[in-house]
Structure 1
Amino acid sequence: MSGVGAPDFFYREAQRLGYVARSAFKLLQIQKQYKLIKPGSSVLDLGCAPGAWLQVACQSLGPLDNGGSVVGIDIKKVKVPSLHCDARVQTASADVINLPSNQVRALSPKQKGFSVILSDMCPSVSGITTKDAALSVELGMRAVDLALGPAALASPVNNSDSSTDSGVLKPGGHLVIKLLESQDAQGENFRK
């Protein structure tokens, strides 16, 4: 929203198109540019409330007969939005920080993991930009940890067929993480 209480263009457009939040446009733009979610994909949405990324992910799977699945996890209980979602979308209420990877893997089709992991997790915002950005990075690192396994952060080699503590992202899969930016980091380019 721009200004105090004044809906901006994206807020109004999200309402017009039936998305539960303007954040849908972030994932729509990523999907348009990179086409990460394909028909038949298995998608995990971390921090899925209020459900806009669930809507875009399900739409990106194409018609119901294409298959695929979308699982959303959030600390809050999230109802699957009725528009743009179908039977392929389910949600679970859990604290991702404390959720073991084997429980997340159990939510995936045939317990084989996910081909796309989306993280739009956001900490409770304090208004202190450096603190909020640091908490956001912590949540982002948790998404990496879940996706690739804890060894991936400690070692440059990812042993993907190791123990039960391996990540839930399938080999060749895609990981998208949204982070809050602090004023200290603005203007710097962190892209690879």
Structure 2
Amino acid sequence: MSGAGGTADFFYREAQRLGYVARSAFKLIQIQKQHKLIAPGAAVLDLGCAPGAWLQVACQNLGPLEKGGVIVGVDVKERGFSVILSDMCPVVSGITTKDAAISCELGMRALSLAVGKMKAKDSDCIAILEKFQSSTEPDPDEDGILRRGGSLVIKFLENEDIPGYDQQ
């Protein structure tokens, strides 16, 4: 943002003049000029989006609203999430045991993202969920993005081979 003496540099002042929230906007502007990555109607995911300068530039390159482009920005440094939804589903093969296992893996990835690294075996989906449900305090070593007291919804495919499965 500033030079060695603490004074605002050219790019910082130019970003302010043009309404960008950070000078980093010019990095993406240069990339866009050279490579034309963001086309009208593109779907863009900006990871680590705070303070939002790249989101601003990406929005400018999406084109008219009728093209249907979308930009999603995620930055957990600024804030965690109070609700995380996971409706992930594998491409269904028709082999229920396989499909349920892949569904479980996707769900576990969502859980891990939400609450951080789990200390149980990833292969035992039920044990991990039971451990998570019985835990009231987060592990201090975990680095999840779900806020304390937040909600997590995960969809799992049903499988009659799972112990305790009861079709009602």
Give 1 or 2 for the bigger CA radius of gyration.
2
Superposition TM-score, scaled by structure 2 size: 0.47
Superposition TM-score, scaled by structure 1 size: 0.42
